[in-house]
Structure 1
Amino acid sequence: MYCTLVTTVHYVLCRFMLLENYHSAVINSITEGGMALWSPVQQKISCVFIVSVQQEPSTKRINQPYSVIALDKLNHAAEMAGVERARCTEKVDGTCCLVALDKGRPELWARLDRKLNKQAEKRFRKFQLGSKPSTAFECDVDRDFRVVPDCWKPANGVQFVNGQLQPDENGHILGWVPVCSSARQYVWHNMAVAREIGKALVLRPEAGRLILSAEPLTQLLDQTLELIGTHVNNNPYGLGRPEQPLHVLVPHCAFGVTSPPQLSLSQLRSWFETPEGQVEGLVWCCANGELFKVNRHHVGLSWPLNTARLAEQPVLISVSFPTTDFVPNSIFAGLARLDKQTLPSIHHIRW
């Protein structure tokens, strides 16, 4: 099955996708006054600005030979979605997860994108950097993509053509895999879940502080969250330590921004230098469910920082289950011993 990817002047687009479907996150959200409080992040979120691919090494990803820079012009899809009236939230630096049913039981799922194999990846990168507008990159889904586990499932919004899954503008087929397996790469995901009692460690804002609690997986069904912690993305928030790692889940769009900046590059750069701006980036949650983002790398600023906003707030530990419910050396048992304590910051959590 062959698929075709095409480029435009500023960024790569998929010929076979409807752009509005691709750029939108699937909405299944709790609302307040018509505004989404959270939205499942099933697709990659587009930048709120038009972006340009520069042929210079990325400051965000090691070994990426190109950078993605924001131009001072709003993404047309963002304008159409009313982004200037949207709820602005903090973009949290972690790895994307989903809570969904697996064999009839609520389970945590990790993002696992089906990617091009090495040979096809080389061809695609050369195509990205060297192709002219409207030229095409052709690939065969069965031949050019890596094999995924049998338990893998495609993300909502992935397109099918003639019964075949189609990749996105980056050459990926987005998807999920349950983390209940013993696979080593999911050991940190599993630290945030206690399947015996069907709960997960969740960090949320509450009344001017953070609250860390063990929430039922049933109440998190169909939500997406970021896993953050000691061994995720070099731990920009300083959670735990190597000898006592800590990993928790943060719901998407949970942390609202009190005084968001205006949508211009100069205003954003200035805002990122304020105390409230000590974040990886911003996500705008539009009334129709579409999400748009910008991160510090888009505007030429560095991340991580010495002090991140999320890591400088007091945190209440609310894990009130009897210690007998947990294995003696589990993180849940340790946090239960800290129940009802308010700590100066998440740096101070020692379980």
Structure 2
Amino acid sequence: MRRLGSVQRKLPCAFVTQVTEEPSAKREHQPYKVLATEIISHKALDADIYSAIPTEKVDGTCCYVTTYKGQPYLWARLDRKPNKVAEKRFKNFLHSKQNPKDFFWNVEEDFKPVPECWIPAKEIEQLNGNPVPDENGHIPGWVPVEKNNKQYCWHSSVVNYELEIALVLKLHADDPGLLEISAVPLTDLLEQTLELIGTNINGNPYGLGSKKHPLHLLTPHGAFQIRSLPTVRHSELLSWFEGCREGKIEGIVWHCNDGCLIKVHRHHLGLRWPIPDPYMNSKPVLVNMNLNKCGITFDTRCLFNHFSKIDNQKFSRLKDIIIEV
């Protein structure tokens, strides 16, 4: 349901927000919090959030599938960031309380180099043929996940380029109460964005795998639709997050009819994340690799080999899947 191939610069919050002087519980070294007021934002109203489809905001790192070297590839998020001189100039500009949109960037000179294969994210504004940085001074973009690139080893663990497949976690097609891990053709994921979750991503809020035997999976954006969400009101959403089992999630992303995405994070409501027992770990999970095993051999250390051994097995929850090598 997400706008395919796009990286949102920063998803707008469903509510008008205010900045407090308390240190952020979400971002280190951020000396303030951003909290939601009870007023619904103009962007949310303009996008008709009341008729939008609410989905779970999954806590991972953003990925993208598109072609590279003539075949479908997984791409990792890599924002192009300013060099030290330009960053200092930008911060001084912000401290003067001016609008970041009015800051002048020289894209060719102000930014750190990126690999030649780097591409800017779709929907990034262009000016004179150059991408326009966002309000944080970053240019969102992607780099292909090469097989032997150690920097993206956890990304690499969920794809097999020889067979052109990826390890994907989503809801079972016939049972919304059941999760499913399957080997999905990369061609089926072309021009989609997904979230990589697992042992070494964002502190592993879902408790997948272990340091000795890490486990990572891809989850398509919008994969987990929320069925019992109350009206978009501050008090009702706060009660839902605090008191409903389905509310034990990082946040909500509304997919609006015009393609706009609107979010609210637990932190916007003054609630903490991660939490001990997230909703994702309340559902059973089925391993359904859908692979014709004839003639297919995997490296014994790879995740595909492990999941092929436990194909058609059902587990009480994701945490119960133990990687054995």
The TM-score with structure 1 as length reference comes to 0.85
Separation of aligned partners in 2, 1:38 and 1:76: 21
Letter in 1 for 2:317: S
1:245 aligns with 214
Confirm or deny: 8 A CA contact 2:230 2:236 kept in the other structure: yes
Pick from 89, 103, 106 the counterpart of residue 137 of structure 1.
Answer: 103
Separation of aligned partners in 2, 1:169 and 1:264: 28
**Where do 1:39-188 residues align within 5 Å?**
39-40=3-4, 41-44=6-9, 45-132=11-98, 136-180=102-146, 182-188=148-154
Deviation at 1:246, TM superposition (A): 0.5
Pick from 275, 282, 286 the counterpart of residue 312 of structure 1.
Answer: 282
Deviation at 1:126, TM superposition (A): 4.6
**Where do 1:268-279 residues align within 5 Å?**
268-273=237-242, 274-279=244-249
Separation of aligned partners in 1, 2:186 and 2:30: 36
Deviation at 1:161, TM superposition (A): 1.1
RMSD: 1.9
Deviation at 1:222, TM superposition (A): 0.6
Letter in 2 for 1:292: I
Letter in 2 for 1:142: E
Encode CA deviations 1:176-232: one digit per residue, 9 max, x unaligned.
110115332200000111112110000001211100001000111011100000000
When residues 133 and 251 of structure 1 are mapped into structure 2, their CA distance, relative to the original with a 3 A threshold, is closer
Letter in 1 for 2:210: R
More divergent stretch after superposition (163-172 vs 65-74):
65-74
Identity %: 47
When residues 89 and 133 of structure 1 are mapped into structure 2, their CA distance, relative to the original with a 3 A threshold, is same
Separation of aligned partners in 2, 1:212 and 1:181: 22
Separation of aligned partners in 2, 1:154 and 1:107: 16
Confirm or deny: 8 A CA contact 1:211 1:317 kept in the other structure: yes
Letter in 2 for 1:76: H
2:233 aligns with 264
Letter in 2 for 1:283: V
1:34 aligns with none
Separation of aligned partners in 1, 2:145 and 2:82: 22
Unaligned runs of 5+ in 2: none
Deviation at 1:130, TM superposition (A): 4.5
Confirm or deny: 8 A CA contact 2:2 2:261 kept in the other structure: no
Separation of aligned partners in 1, 2:181 and 2:250: 21
Is 1:196–2:162 an aligned residue pair?
yes
Is 1:288–2:258 an aligned residue pair?
yes
Pick from 319, 322, 325 the counterpart of residue 347 of structure 1.
Answer: 319
Deviation at 1:111, TM superposition (A): 0.9
Separation of aligned partners in 2, 1:55 and 1:241: 37
1:254 aligns with 223
Separation of aligned partners in 2, 1:251 and 1:337: 24
Separation of aligned partners in 2, 1:317 and 1:292: 32
Letter in 1 for 2:66: A
SS in 2 for 1:138: coil
When residues 129 and 277 of structure 1 are mapped into structure 2, their CA distance, relative to the original with a 3 A threshold, is farther
Deviation at 1:55, TM superposition (A): 4.4
When residues 265 and 151 of structure 1 are mapped into structure 2, their CA distance, relative to the original with a 3 A threshold, is same
Separation of aligned partners in 1, 2:225 and 2:32: 31
When residues 135 and 189 of structure 1 are mapped into structure 2, their CA distance, relative to the original with a 3 A threshold, is closer
Separation of aligned partners in 1, 2:93 and 2:21: 13
Deviation at 1:59, TM superposition (A): 1.2
Confirm or deny: 8 A CA contact 2:12 2:263 kept in the other structure: yes
Separation of aligned partners in 2, 1:211 and 1:64: 37
The TM-score with structure 2 as length reference comes to 0.91
Letter in 2 for 1:43: Q
